[in-house]
């Protein structure tokens, strides 16, 4: 199970039949490649009324993925190996910040965040939003995940911390008409308040990629597949988008659909897909296929990202490896060639078109991306210097459309 401080995923491949492949073929919409233009881009967004900068971000990510991918890290500006604060660990290794910053609404929407300066959770909100602004001002891209606490006690998002009754009812309870629907709306109100006031040095609202209810094919989170039906998942997602977009007037979001790595067919991957009108980014989290450094694991990862890439091209969406990595600690050695060979090959095999890859965060006792001075630092530097890799120092302009 993936924990916030220690991520170890080793999910097996789902077994699939030939009928799944037939279903995928019949449900895939016949959309041309490269149909996107500067003139029609809004028609492909979940929010046709998105800000100009958000529209540009979608357009530029879609075009960037044809030849390059952005490299990012979760909490890059405030989570460091051995607590060595200062520059991001990626900058310590390469001389450049990542092209992508990952953040989380977890502390921001916590029940204990009372909005006062002395409150620890509010202090985290200030730190997080300041780092988002810093990233935007540097030309970087921002993403937000959301480890939303369960609605009964509001203390955890892991099913291992919940009672059987809570697990069985939590997700259904946040749907319209459910006993905790008000709780869900209250949390969305907080998200909306933050995003509607998140501005860069240019005075513009900062676009973010929002990745709610991720890794839903696993059962470690209360929104996992064992605790809601596909229709319930779609309903919650569609409500979230509609509420933020139409009720709260949030127009600086791209929405990312992001299961874990259990899917091997398009039909299964799309089983809980809420629809093109509610999604901008088709992603996949994948730790398990990289966990032992095997050639077969890398091949499996490459095949899965190719599947997502193909779906994204057909639907005129963005493809991304939304979360991945391998955690190195004092007792867990690096995998040889993890970055420059395994990860790079998986992302670029089969002519996949991937807009970005997000590595999980470093902390006092372990790292997903090595800072300087580690035995695999050069491996990461080699990965970051490859022809398709993008860091902050060579990121193109993402918030304007150049004809």
Sequence-separated (6 or more) residues with CB below 8 Å from residue 134: 77
The C-alpha atoms of residue 50 and residue 247 are separated, in whole angstroms, by: 14
Cβ distance 244 to 191 under 8 Å? Answer: yes
Dihedral angle of Cα 49, 51, 55, 57, to the nearest 10 degrees: -150
CA distance 132 to 138: 10
> Is 323 annotated as catalytic?
yes
Of 178, 256, 182, 263, the residue nearest 218 (C-alpha) = 263
Closest CA to 156 of 148, 166, 168: 148
Two tokens, residue 19 = 């009928």
User: Is 314 noted as a catalytic residue in this protein?
Assistant: no
Catalytic residue among 53, 134, 215, 314: 215
Q: Are 147 and 153 in contact (CB under 8 A)?
A: no
HSE at residue 123, side-chain half, CA atoms within 13 A, is 5
Give residue 374's Cα distance to chain centre.
Answer: 27
Rounded Cα distance between 385 and 391, Å, is 9
Structure-token match 């279903």, residue found: 23
Q: Which CA distances in Å does 351 have to 31, 63, 390?
A: 18, 14, 17
**Beta-sheet strands, E only, within 125-266:** 141-145, 208-211, 253-257
CA torsion angle for 9, 108, 140, 398 (degrees, to 10)? 100
- R_g (Cα) of the chain, nearest Å: 20
Catalogue the active-site residues.
Answer: 215, 323
């Amino acid at each position: 199970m993936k924990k916030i401080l220690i991520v170890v995923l080793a999910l097996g491949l789902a077994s699939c039949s030939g009928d799944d492949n037939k279903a995928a073929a019949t449900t895939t919409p016949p959309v041309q490649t490269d149909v996107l233009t500067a003139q029609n881009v809004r028609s492909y967004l979940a929010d046709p009324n998105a800000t100009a900068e958000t529209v540009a971000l979608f357009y530029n990510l879609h075009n960037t993925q044809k030849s390059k991918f952005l490299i990012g890290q979760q909490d890059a500006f405030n989570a460091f190996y051995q607590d060595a604060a200062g520059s991001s660990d990626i900058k310590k290794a390469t001389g450049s910040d990542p092209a992508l910053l990952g953040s989380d609404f977890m502390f921001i929407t916590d029940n204990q965040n009372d909005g006062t300066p002395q409150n620890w959770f509010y202090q985290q909100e200030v730190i997080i939003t300041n780092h988002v602004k810093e990233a935007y001002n540097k030309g970087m891209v921002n993403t937000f995940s959301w480890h939303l606490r369960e609605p009964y006690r509001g203390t955890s998002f892991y099913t291992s911390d919940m009672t059987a009754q809570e697990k069985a009812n939590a997700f259904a309870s946040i749907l319209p008409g459910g006993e905790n629907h008000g709780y869900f709306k209250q949390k969305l109100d907080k998200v909306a308040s933050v995003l509607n006031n998140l501005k860069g040095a240019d005075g513009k609202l900062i676009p973010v990629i929002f990745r709610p209810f991720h890794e839903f094919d696993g059962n470690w989170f209360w929104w996992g597949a064992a605790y809601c039906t596909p229709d319930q998942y779609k309903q919650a997602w569609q409500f979230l988008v509609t509420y933020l977009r139409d009720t709260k007037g949030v127009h600086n979001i791209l929405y990312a659909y992001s299961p874990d790595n259990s899917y091997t067919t398009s039909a299964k991957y799309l089983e809980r897909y809420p629809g093109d009108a509610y999604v901008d980014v088709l992603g996949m989290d994948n730790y398990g296929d990289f966990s032992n450094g095997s050639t077969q694991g890398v091949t499996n990862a490459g095949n899965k990202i190719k599947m997502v890439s193909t779906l994204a091209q057909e639907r005129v969406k963005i493809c991304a490896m939304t979360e991945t990595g391998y955690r190195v600690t004092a007792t867990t050695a690096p995998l040889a060639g993890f970055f420059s060979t395994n990860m790079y090959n998986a992302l670029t095999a089969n002519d996949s078109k991937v807009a970005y890859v997000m590595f999980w965060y470093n902390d006092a006792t372990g790292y997903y991306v090595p800072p300087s001075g580690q035995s695999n630092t050069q491996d990461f530097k080699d990965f970051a210097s490859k022809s398709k890799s993008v860091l902050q120092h060579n990121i193109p302009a993402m918030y304007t459309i150049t004809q």
